[in-house]
Structure 1
Amino acid sequence: MLADADGSGTTNGRSRSYANGKSSQRPSAAATTNGTHKSGPSKNGPSKPRPSEKYFNHDREEVTRILIQALSDMGYHSAAQDVSETSGYELESPTVASFRTAILEGEWAEAEELLDITVSSGEVGSSHNSGLVLATGSDRNVMRFWIRQQKYLELLERREHDKALMVLRNELTSLYQDTRKLHFLSGLIMCQSKEELRLKASWDGANGRSRYTLLSELAKCISPSVMLPEHRLSDLLNQVKEAQITGCVWHSSGETPTLYSDHICNRHDFPTETVFELDDHAGEVWQVVFSHDGTKLASSGSDKQVIIWEVPSFKILHSLKEHDSGVGNVAWSWDDSMLVTCCQDRYARLWDVKTGHCLRLLYRYEEPVSSCVWAPDNKSFIIGSLDKVGSLVQWDLSAEKIHDWKGPPRIEELALSPDGRWLVVMDTENHIHVYNFRTKEFEYKLDLKSRLTSLSISQNSRYLLVNQINGYAQLVDLVLQMPVQHYTGHIGGNFVIRASLGGAHEMFVIAGSEDGFLNIWSKATAQYGRTIPGGGINGNKRQSGVQTFDQKVVFCYEMPGIHQFKNTYIAQRLKVDESREQY
């Protein structure tokens, strides 16, 4: 029921002797001092001189203990033991090891006894304490509740309902006043099987990973100086790589940076040249969207058709022409086998991508259909419209209504996070409305002070990019419910101009502009990276849609034309290949 833990390492597993894990005989309290340097004699000679406190301006003890943990994570247990013995530093104290073992072996009484003698990090002597030291802000009662909850679930799993009921009444209720949580736990007694219990509790049982998950959550409440966070070296190395990527002004490589040298990308590999200009639309082009696998591109606009292109040849696969008005938006199913088109004729249509045939004509709305997103199950989709009532409705593949979200009136655009958690709605004013897609509950609403023109959610599902008519784009943290970065320099106006996250690792924000240029910023720093003109752009062309995939950037205009940028090397190579085909 707690958050899943990464089970790839052994940090919170049964430790080896150098980490003071459980052995056939419990170590004595004097054996180690929780990572402090041994002062007693070594096994093979006189006392070792105490090494320098610093390792290139880093604390030697911290570096050594992290190294011991990393060697253990990688399976080099003998090497970890050698480092521990040679350095005189231990990964953790006997008390910490005993606590770890008690949790993993289900010795709940012992685990609580050890928890009872913890000290807080701010208490006198806590820095030299060989037992458990709580992290700042940690609550012993919350930790006790987690332990007793695990105990309760394991009793239910063993069908010992009388004992489980006693734990619920006498141990859990006294610690937790959240009646909804307690009611949920009490309801689990009615489960008829172990499988039902595990499913309802989102818990994998005593023999699964649940005890390791519990230990990981408890470890977060213990001072890291006493119990290292899991896979600490890996986390530090990831931070180093992320910092190097963030600091790379021309980052265009999708490969993970090496640790052997500092990371820097060649500015000449940054997308700067037009590879293709597609002019098969007879009117304004309003939207372009890559399929999820990047092998197709759909474009739509005022000429009442949607064109599906093959990528990278950009040959036309289908022209979907059964629309009675302009098509403002399209949405690919997650497996790219179907496409929903949103039309100003007040209909949404479901298409078979392989055949190009229209599968369903949905309910006729009162106002134009503006947007669509697919549900994660690939069996339904949510339509947004400019209707005042019924503006946010979920439909199945048979065009049957599944759920009316009771959304705000007059919706212009939708976005669904890749993890299926957030459904974000953009109205015709200044607001975004955020729903929990899984529970179908409304979460919150933000007023961004100026009319919005587009939405785009990051691949990690954490951030929402919003473009606005005032030439201002904002990056909103969906968890913190607030903007955390903004981007300026492009020209807004009364037209739909979109912005997108793109580039390797989504390191850039890309936005169109009323002057026909592409504007690119660093996502993290908002540093203005480059303004790129499209070939043949003139003042009468406004960029309306921007889409990225891999290292491709495609944008379209409110005049006929679609452009694609790629980096210079690939653009030149494609041009050479094309010239060869002509001969």
Structure 2
Amino acid sequence: MDDDRNANPTLPSESNPVKAPLLSVLGDASLIDRTEFIRVIVQSLYSLGYHRAAAMLESESGISLESHEYTELLFSVLAGRWDDCIATIESIRDLESSAKNTAAFLVWKEHFLELLGLNDGFLMAKDVLWQRIARLDMDRQRVHGLARELISSEGIIEVKDRIRRRLALLLDLFEVLPPWVRVPSGRLERLVEMAVLRQIASCIYHNSPGEVTLYEDHECSQEQIPSKCSQILYDHKNEVWFVQFSNNGDYLASSSSDCTAIIWTVNMDYSLSLRRILEGHMKAISYLTWSPDDKMLLTCGNAEVLKLWDVCNGLCKFTITGGVNRIISSCAWFPDSQKIVCGSWDPDNRIFTCDLEGNILDVWEGERMPKVTDLSVTPDGQCIISICSSKEILVRDFHRGSEWVIHEEHSITSLSLSRDGQFIIVNLKNEEIHLWNLNATSSSPHKFRGHKEGEYVIRSCFGGSDSLFIASGSEDSQVRFLQL
């Protein structure tokens, strides 16, 4: 009997296994082009210094890092074969006519300038300008600029300068041509970084920068959000109305209806110990804020003045009134720690800025000035955001010289600004929290509910290392975390 395997050598055998066909796309969703995937890996290997591994991958896969078009352009440009350069550019698929014109202009411009550098190249340069460059669909100002070069030519271009110029031409061409012609440097690293950032952005509980690995999908557990009481501080004699960590995280400041503020030290084990008690206010302190450099602290309260404290020695540097018997209701720092802005409503409504000596710099007041109950300054110092007339958010943009108002239907009790200055959250009397995008003032806010706010002012804030959620207190003795 004949052996069918020998009669038909195309059938599989142990010595002649059939290889699975190579897939053109990869991944569960079939979104990754195999050739592109291998090319970015090869590019990354070369950039990391693993040249033999990269060359072996090119050889085994049959996929070269450099495209045929890249190789043709490289040799043509370095050799000064300008017609060949243009032919290669014309052969590139899916290249828009505007990009072809720009690439051709770069090539002929270099040829033109090199001819000008020759002792007898004037006439040839003139011919390239009118026969090649002028016929391209380009901005006429660029053509006229080259025409002026005919008159102001500086003479011979040295060989070493010519090589440098041609290498620069290659880089300029790759900015115009499609990315597949030459894989952009660091592309694989960029893709991985984007994937990590996307995972962090979608992580509800993310609050720990640096705790990310490539070995598995990133997901923080709910334990990232503190849920157990670790310490109780008893040094205030009455209700605590406001707390805020310093910008560097080394200290915590608290204010109370006992008319004092306390600075606490954050120890290595994250416990808190009393550092200084700040005494001097005659009425309850409802708000405080650290200077951006953490060297000073501002405190103010209900029907009270504003005081500036030296964090190092705990002394009050001075009391800011903004005028005789003026009550300051809110305050904020500018990013340089050298200027502050204050809001007041008694005896009249006013927003003013002053330096650290108490000298008033700018004032906004008048009959139309509404009552200001809260305010903040963006991290770049360009905008002051204030709560006015209880239902309006006023944004004053110094850089643009403009201002606009965001209207709410219910009274606003507090304002918080995101770390990047792009978003604000406001607490409303109807027990809602509204998130506004300052770059899209015409849009509607994102609304959140769940906390209880009736008798007291609840100040919600952005939470997490990248401000990815909102943390809010509540009159039912709960703290709620809301995902953005």
Is the TM value for this pair above 0.5?
Answer: yes
Maintained 8 Å contact 1:118/1:131: no
**Counterpart check, 1:171 vs 2:130:** no
Which residue of the partner structure matches residue 403 of structure 1?
A: 362
Local SS of the residue matching 2:141: helix
Say yes or no: does 1:298 pair with 2:259: no
> Is the Cα–Cα contact under 8 Å of residues 375 and 381 in structure 1 kept in the other structure?
yes
Structure 2 counterpart of 1:380: 339
Q: Distance in 2 between matches of 1:272 and 1:488?
A: 20
In structure 2, what is the equivalent of residue 317 of structure 1?
275
| Aligned match of 1:274 | 229
* 1:502 corresponding residue in structure 2: 463
CA drift at 1:343: 3.4
In structure 2, the residue matched to 1:577 is none
Q: How does 1:512-527 map to 2 (within 5 A)?
A: 512-523=473-484
Contact 1:416-1:423 within 8 A present in 2 as well: yes
Instruction: Read off the aligned partner of 1:271 and give its amino acid letter.
Output: P
Mapping 1:232-247, distance limit 5 Å: 232-247=187-202
Name the stretch that deviates more: 447-456 or 221-230. Answer: 221-230
Please give the secondary structure, in 2, of the residue aligned with 1:272.
Answer: coil
Deviation of the 1:376 alpha carbon: 1.7
> In the TM superposition, what is the alpha-carbon distance from 1:360 to its structure 2 partner?
1.7
* C-alpha distance in 1 between matches for 2:348 and 2:68: 63
Distance in 2 (CA, whole Å) between partners of 1:446 and 1:323 is: 34
Q: What's the counterpart of residue 26 of structure 2? A: 55
Query: Radius of gyration: which is bigger?
Result: 2
C-alpha deviation, 1:290, in angstroms: 1.0
**Deviation (angstroms), 1:519:** 0.9
Following TM superposition, by how much is the alpha carbon of 1:83 offset from its aligned partner in structure 2, in angstroms? 4.8
In structure 2, give the amino acid aligned to 1:453. Answer: T
Q: Following TM superposition, by how much is the alpha carbon of 1:215 offset from its aligned partner in structure 2, in angstroms?
A: 7.1
Q: Partner of 1:471 in structure 2?
A: 431
Map 1:304-343 to 2 at 5 A. 304-312=259-267, 313-343=271-301
Q: Sort the Cα spacing of 1:95 and 1:508 in 2 relative to 1 into closer, same or farther, 3 A.
A: same
Report the counterpart of residue 152 of structure 1 in structure 2: none
How far off its partner does 1:406 sit? 6.3
The answer as to whether partners of 2:255 and 2:285 remain within 8 angstroms in 1 is: yes
Q: Is 2:247–2:293's contact at 8 Å kept on the other side of the alignment? A: yes
- Structure 1, unmatched stretches of 5+, are 1-48, 103-109, 120-127, 145-168, 175-210, 524-583
Q: What CA distance in whole angstroms lies between the structure 1 residues aligned with 2:50 and 2:473?
A: 52
Match of residue 413 from structure 2: 453
User: Corresponding residue for 2:8?
Assistant: none
Question: Contact 2:290–2:297 at 8 Å: present in 1 too?
Answer: yes
User: Which residue number corresponds to residue 369 of structure 1?
Assistant: 328
Are the equivalent residues in 1 in contact too, given 2:322–2:360 (CA < 8 A)? Answer: no
Q: Distance in 1 between matches of 2:185 and 2:42?
A: 12
Matches within 5 A, 1:223-238: 231-238=186-193
Q: Is the 8 A contact 1:346 1:364 kept in 2?
A: no
Q: Equivalent residue for 2:63? A: 88
Change (3 A) 1:215 1:424: farther
**Aligned residue pair count:** 392
**Normalization by structure 1: what TM-score?**
0.56
Cα displacement string for residues 147-199 of structure 1 (whole angstroms, at most 9, x for unaligned residues): xxxxxxxxxxxxxxxxxxxxxx9838x9xxxxxxxxxxxxxxxxxxxxxxxxx
| Paired AA for residue 141 in structure 2 | E
Q: After alignment, is 506-515 or 349-358 more displaced?
A: 506-515
Which of these residues, 360, 364, 376, is aligned with residue 415 of structure 1? 376
466 and 215 in structure 1: CA distance in 2 versus 1, 3 angstrom threshold: farther
User: Once the 2 structures are TM-superposed, how far is the Cα of residue 314 of structure 1 from its aligned partner?
Assistant: 3.0
Task: Tell me the CA shift for residue 349 of structure 1.
Answer: 1.6
Matched, 1:286 2:241: yes
Q: CA deviation at 1:502?
A: 1.7
**Partner SS, residue 282 of structure 1:** coil
1:37-186 paired onto structure 2 within 5 Å: 52-56=23-27, 57=30, 58-71=32-45, 74=48, 76=50, 83=57, 86-90=61-65, 94=69, 129-130=92-93, 132-133=95-96, 171=141
1:492 aligns with 2:453: yes
Q: Return the letter of the residue paired with 1:295.
A: D
In the alignment, the residues of structure 2 paired with residue 232 and residue 484 of structure 1 have an alpha-carbon distance, to the nearest angstrom, of 36
Distance in structure 2 (CA, Å) of the matches to 1:118 and 1:346: 73
- Equivalent residues of 2:259, 2:281 under 8 A apart: yes
- Deviation of residue 236 (structure 1)? 2.9
What CA distance in whole angstroms lies between the structure 2 residues aligned with 1:409 and 1:240? 47
Q: d(CA) in 2 for partners of 1:84 and 1:134?
A: 32
Give the Å deviation of 1:288. 0.9
Counterpart of 1:564 in structure 2 is none
The answer as to whether partners of 2:350 and 2:371 remain within 8 angstroms in 1 is yes
CA contact (8 A) 1:324 1:345 kept: no
**Structure 2 spans left out of the alignment, 5+ residues:** 1-19, 106-138, 145-167
Note if contact 1:134-1:222 (Cα within 8 Å) is conserved in structure 2. Answer: no
Matched position secondary structure for 1:480: coil
1:414 aligned partner, one-letter code: L
Q: Which amino acid aligns with 1:360?
A: F
> TM-score scaled by structure 2?
0.66
Instruction: State the distance in 2 between where 1:319 and 1:309 align.
Output: 9
- Seen in structure 2, the aligned counterparts of structure 1 residues 285 and 260 have a Cα distance that, compared at 3 Å, is same
Could you tell me how far 1:91 is from its partner in structure 2?
5.3
For 2:423 and 2:97, the matched residues in 1 are separated by: 32
Whole-Å separation in 2 of the counterparts to 1:329 and 1:374 = 13
In the alignment, the residues of structure 2 paired with residue 282 and residue 450 of structure 1 have an alpha-carbon distance, to the nearest angstrom, of 34
**Quick one: higher RCO (CA 8 Å, sep 6+), 1 or 2?**
1
The amino acid across from 2:278 in the alignment is: L
Root-mean-square deviation (Å): 4.5
In structure 2, relative to structure 1, the CA distance for the partners of 1:518 and 1:298 (3 Å cut) is same
| Per-residue Cα deviation, 1:326-346 (whole angstroms, up to 9, x for no partner) | 222212112211111123345
